[in-house]
Chain A
Amino acid sequence: MLEAHNLSAERGATRLFSDLSFKVGTGEALMITGANGTGKTTLLRMLAGLSAPAAGEIRWRGQIVKPFDPRLRGAVAFAGHPIALKDELTAEENLAAAAALSGEPASPDAVRSALEVVSLSRQRSLPARVLSQGQRRRIGLARLTLVRRVLWLLDEPVTALDAAGTALLARLVGEHVQTGGLAIAATHTPLILPQVRLHSLALA
């Protein structure tokens, strides 16, 4: 269970949001919506433990977590705006490196089946440089399935995905949540997730 208590965020002298409180439990998803510049990404980065809130606290499983807390680092899969792919490495190598970085090295078979899920089997030995934005997003999805974290934090996950990709994303998030995971997404276009307890939070 992830809880936020009275979070506030500042950028320079302007206050993005303040006194934000919410809870996301096991098997639940949260969609954060709001116009540009309302602090969606900032909030997501706080929850990931990348930056400290100006005020308030974040609790993970009841315990207060500070930025870069080891408990949070072992639980979070963060999919930020740049997709964290090395242009020089192939799709396969990128995924294998990401899995090893997460502390659970994946077998070549596991990497291949993760690429198959996102329909990129044919591109597996192409360098990431030549892939389209949508394909790169899909590798990001494959990473989520490969690194096996409880808490998914997704920043604008729909960007650059086609209709099939969006449906795939919704299916993966749905399955993740239904098998006991948590998902929080900051997005302009809310995902359609039937059979999932969906909270929503609008930043203004």
Chain B
Amino acid sequence: MNTAAPVPAPASLADSALPAGGIFAALRWSLVRDLKVAMRSRSELGVQLLFYIIVVSLFPLASNPERTLLAAIGPGVLWVAALLASLLSLPRLFAGDYGDGTLEQIALSPHPLEALVSGKILAHWLTAGLPVTLLAPLLGIQYAMDGESLAVLAAALLIGTPILSLLGGIGAALTLGLRGGGSLLALLILPLYVPVLIFGAGAVEAVRAGLGATANLSLLGAGLLVAMVGAPFAAAAAVRIALD
């Protein structure tokens, strides 16, 4: 036993007020920590990305690898696979912290929980949504999509996948520690993903139809703004409910 080690000076036992740095310090804390944890378990991220690639590669085998057909179903397939990949990686968002007790510490921190949750959601997007966005144009080539379609697809995914992480965060928090968590999460979240799917895949469709993607992309952008404002509050409320 080591009683010789000095004990740190007694705590300044005053209640700490709201910590310095405010919202951004809190957001940065959870962003940095989650990215660090994700980087130390990189293989999991790689497996999730492989899942995306495999799902996308299955569709031509299930139908007809004819170029015009592929170009027609390509945007939809790439988007549906993005939805599924997002769903698959969602448990990572809160379940780890819930299991090891860190989520309690996060909820009891003097930092605003909404900001901490936002940082976690941002980290989730950087490790799940962004890789899919970067990979999709490459996979689009398999689907005989032309350059403009590929560019619009990437733009739509760039705006749309953060919405998936934001909405998914609510579902992931609501289903913490529940029986059948994974499939329940799918039932709760996939219907809410429908508008993102429609506007996202619709953007590429619109380009193919010669209509221009501006309208679809602006609607996606509006959706992203609404989700950014609202989802952190709902997800934070859901975290508190799950801990009760």
Contacts and interface: CB of A to CB of B under 8 A. Distances in A.
Is there any pair of Cβ atoms, one from A and one from B, under 8 angstroms apart in the complex? yes
Interface of A: 48-52, 67-68, 70-71, 73-76, 78, 80-89, 93, 97-98, 100-104, 110, 113-114, 116-117, 119, 127, 145-146, 148-150, 163-164, 167-168, 171-172, 175-176, 179-181
Interface string B12-42: 1111111110000000010001001100110
Nearest to A171: B3
Contacts of B41: 88
B10 A179 contact: yes
A117 B106 CA distance: 25
Interface of B: 1-3, 5-8, 10-20, 29, 33, 36-37, 40-41, 96, 99-102, 104-111, 113, 240, 243-244
Contacts of B106: 101
Residues of B contacting A: mostly: loop
Contacts of A98: 105
Given A89-B33, A168-B3, A181-B11, 4 more contacts: A68-B107, A101-B29, A119-B2, A176-B10
Contacts of B110: 70, 73-74, 102-103
A167 B29 CA distance: 34
B244 A104 contact: no
B11 A114 contact: no
A76 B2 CA distance: 27
Nearest to B37: A88
Nearest to B105: A84
B40 to A, nearest CB: 4
Nearest to A78: B108
A157 B8 CA distance: 20
A50 B107 contact: yes
Contacts of A87: 100
Contact of B1 (A67, A73, A89, A119): A119
